[in-house]
Every structure is written in C-alpha cells, then in structure tokens.
Chain A
Amino acid sequence: MNSIYRLLLCVVVILLFATKAQAQEWHYEISCAGVGVQGTYMVEVTSYGKTVDAALEQMKKDAIHGVLFKGISGKCTQKPLAGKAEAETEHKAFFDKFFSASGDYAKYVVDEQNVNFMVTKVNKKEYKVTKVVSVKKDMLRRDLEKAGVIKALGF
C-alpha cells in the first residue's frame, strides 16, 4: 500500500510542476488610445502584477501580446498582427523565449517614464496599472516576418 501512496504522491507532484510550467495565462485589457506616429500603435493597456513595477513590466508584454494576438478595439480598431489565433501555439517555443525576462519584447514598446498612469490595489497581493504606450508595430512585424513567425504580404 505504501508504495501505491508514494506513487500517487509522485504523480500529484509531477502534475503540480507540469501545471506551473504551463504557458503564461494572459490577463489584460487593450484598447486604442489614438493614432500614433507612422509605424506605431498608441494603445492603452491595463495589466496586473504583485507590485507596481511588476505590473508595469507585465504591461509591456501585454501590449505586444495584444497587438499580435488579440487586436485593438476602440475607435481605431486593428486586427491582430499575427493574423491567426493559432500562430501563438504554432510558434510556442519562439514566443516563450520572446516573452521571457531576457526576451526581445521590450524593444518594441515605447514606455515614456514621465507619462501618468493609474494604479489600483486590487487586493493584498495584486496591483492593477493602466497606462498609454506606443508599440512599434512596423518594426515588430518586419522582425517577425524575418523570423518566419508571421507571413509577409503576398503568396
């Protein structure tokens, strides 16, 4: 019996780790904040984090993720840059690295330090921030086309 309990414990531990290692769940809101300069989208993003700094960092990832896979709602509605929803799972390895702490995502976001943003303490362990940032969408599209992750216009 003991060995069965041990086996079950091992399975539970493995499952717990497996769940932890699953892809990050995205929880944010993104909408159009106006027409940016050519080659950029100006978006308002609401993100969540354990601290304000963590939420602000998460906001950069969310802005890129939103532009790529969710699209932008509001007055200047834009379709997702990646084209199809499956692109994220099709190129999972690429995007895991892209959105990691050492990933390239940050270079596509213009996050002005002197721009006001709104902070709300959701609960003891979570902050919500809302801020307007610019996403360099033309540069992002070109780089992802070069990497073969999204398709260039044409056949």
Chain B
Amino acid sequence: MNFNFPDMKRFGLSIILLCFVLSLSAQEKKPTIMVVPSDVWCNQHGYMTTFDNQGTTQKVPDYKTALQNDADLLLVIGAINTLMADRGFPLKNLESVLKSIEQRMAEDNMTVSKTSGAELAETPLDRLRRTAKADIIMQITWTVNTTGPKKSITYILQGIDSYTDKQIAGAQGTGDPSFTAETPVLLQEAVVTHMDNFCFQLQSYFDDLIAKGREVAVDVRVFDTGEMDLETEFNGVELTEIIDEWMNANTVNHIFNKSDASENYIQYEQVRIPLYKTNGASMDAEGFVRNLRTYLRQEYQIQSKVMTRGLGRAILVIGEK
C-alpha cells in the first residue's frame, strides 16, 4: 500500500476541523423558557400583590402564593414541563427558580468578608433584576366554562420573547364540554391537545433565527458627564451616524430598526445579529454590543460601559465605565 504523507496530513486536518465544528455546534446557547400563569389568571384567582411605586400603587402577580395554593396550576406547569422535556427542551421551573432566588438572597445577606467584614456589593438595579425570568415566557391562562351540568376549558398558551415582547408562538381553544370529567382531567387534555401546535410555531421561530439571525434590542445611552453626547462630531461625522453605520455593517442582511433617538439615547429594535461570533461561539446581545464598544474605543478612543438584560437586550452607555 502506498501512503501519500501530504494527503494523510490533509485528511487528519479535515477530521480535526470537523470535530472542532461539531463541538462548536454542540455548545449552542439555547434560550431559556419558563411557564408562568398570566396576569389575567392571577388577577381572576386573587394571586396579586400590591407595592408602592414612588406614590403609585401597582399590582403585580404573586407567583409564590399561586403555586402554594393552586394545585391546578402545578398540574398545568408540570404537564407542559414534561412535554417539553420529552422534546429535549427542558424548561426552567418557576417554583424552583423562586426558591433559588430566596435561597440566594438569604445567603447573600449572610455573606461577609473574613478580613474586613464587608458585605457583598449590590446596587438597587441588581436587586430589581433579581426576579424570576427567562428568555421566552410561556404564559398560560385558562377558564372553566360551565353551562348547566356541562364543563369545558378555554385554554390560552402564549410564547413571548422577553426582550422583544413579541408573541412568537401561541395555541388556544375551547375543549369539548363534558358532563363527568373533572377540571384537572380537562386541563390535562387541553395541554396535551395544544402542545404540538405550540412547539411547531416555536420551531418556526427558531428556523427564522437561523435564517435571519437572532433578534435583539440594543440601547445606546450617554453618561451625564457633559463631555460628550450622541451629536458630538468625530472627523465631521456625528457619533449617531458612526453607530448607525456600524450597525448597518454588522447586522445580518443589514436588518435593524432605529425606533427612537435623541442626542442622549438611541433605541434599536429588531436588530438581527449573527447566531455565532467569528470564533464560532454563540453570539448574544452582550457580545454584539461589546464589538461596538471595542470599535468605538479603537477607532475614536470613546470609553463606554456595556450592561446586559439577558440574552436579548444590551445597553451601551457612552462616556465612561
């Protein structure tokens, strides 16, 4: 047998490259999904709590009380979680997330430095952000309809992208009325009936991400230092235009929507970013905005700070760190 060494080397390199590509595809960041009861459902069942938001009383859903008191809610969340896990897409469990937040808060309160006794640093913003959240929220609502002795369930399931606030999937309908079936049985039936169509739409959303890039939102803000704003000119070009040009060059198919702007802020929505960075790692809003930050620092010596809101929203604050 005659082995040609350069050919073997090329073959070996191809195998290594293939393994590298496969390992990268396995590292894909999947969006996190969590099932929560809708505000309407919580309000109808009295699971709301009020708080004083700078003089205005606001009502927000009290998930903890709802989970502790409503067995039907647990049934629905459990059934959806099971069906999604069966499809290889395990969900974040609302109850566990709430418990882990409480646990973490208790631990953080008790954590002090051994030497100076200093407590953990935490800004008011950090505290505000420590709530149960996921990239996609599956919001459920159901009502039990009663007509004489007959009962039926109207079931609404909405998949909402947390960052773009768009409904990306949905399934709803009213089941057959029944004389004998109990509410939990009808609820289970509603979940099973609607789940496949919901997953079908969810997959269409994922396919759209693959084709057109991940949709994120980008905000640009300015620190109130008085030194610079978005109308400051660099080589005769305003900073706003420089950022617009960069967005145009770095978005997939140049898709982005500048929804609002002033000299102090720019809001970009429907920003389609590539799914992967040039090194093959997954791209999220933070990674995308970090590239913008690097560009502004290298080309125009502008200092800025990147703040994130999960996978889908990032804020670049210009002026200082």
Chain A interface residues toward B at CB < 8 A: 34-35, 38, 75-79, 81, 83, 137-138, 151-155
Contact = CB atoms under 8 A, between A and B. Distances in A.
A154 B210 CA distance: 10
Nearest first, the 3 closest Cβ-Cβ pairs linking A and B are A153-B87, A79-B200, A35-B189
B90 to A, nearest CB: 11
A22 B109 CA distance: 72
B197 interface: yes
A62 to B, nearest CB: 19
Contacts of B84: 153
A13 B199 CA distance: 48
Interface string B188-207: 01001100110110110010
Nearest to B189: A35
* Interface SS of B by simple majority: helix
Interface in B202-247: 202-203, 206, 209-210
Interface string B54-71: 000000000000000000
A153 to B, nearest CB: 5
Given A78-B196, A83-B200, A154 B30 contact: yes
22 contacts: A34-B176, A35-B192, A75-B176, A77-B197, A78-B197, A79-B196, A79-B197, A83-B203, A138-B86, A151-B203, A152-B87, A152-B88, A153-B84, A153-B88, A153-B202, A153-B203, A153-B206, A154-B88, A154-B89, A154-B203, A155-B28, A155-B30
Contacts of B197: 77-79
B182 to A, nearest CB: 15
Contacts of B206: 153-155
B275 interface: yes
B223 to A, nearest CB: 37
Contacts of B202: 153
A138 B200 CA distance: 14
Interface of B: 28, 30, 84, 86-89, 175-176, 189, 192-193, 196-197, 199-200, 202-203, 206, 209-210, 275
Given A153-B88, A154-B206, A155-B275, 18 more contacts: A34-B176, A35-B189, A35-B193, A38-B192, A77-B197, A78-B197, A79-B197, A79-B200, A83-B200, A152-B87, A153-B89, A153-B202, A154-B28, A154-B30, A154-B89, A154-B203, A155-B28, A155-B209
Nearest to B29: A155
A153 B199 contact: yes
Contacts of A153: 84, 87-89, 199, 202-203, 206
A124 to B, nearest CB: 41
B138 to A, nearest CB: 13
Contacts of A154: 28, 30, 88-89, 203, 206
A9 B197 CA distance: 52
Nearest to A152: B88
A154 B209 CA distance: 10
Contacts of A75: 176
A155 B192 contact: no
B261 to A, nearest CB: 32
A123 B189 CA distance: 41
Nearest to A153: B87
Contacts of A38: 192
A38 B195 CA distance: 11
Contacts of B210: 155
A137 B87 CA distance: 12
Contacts of B89: 153-154
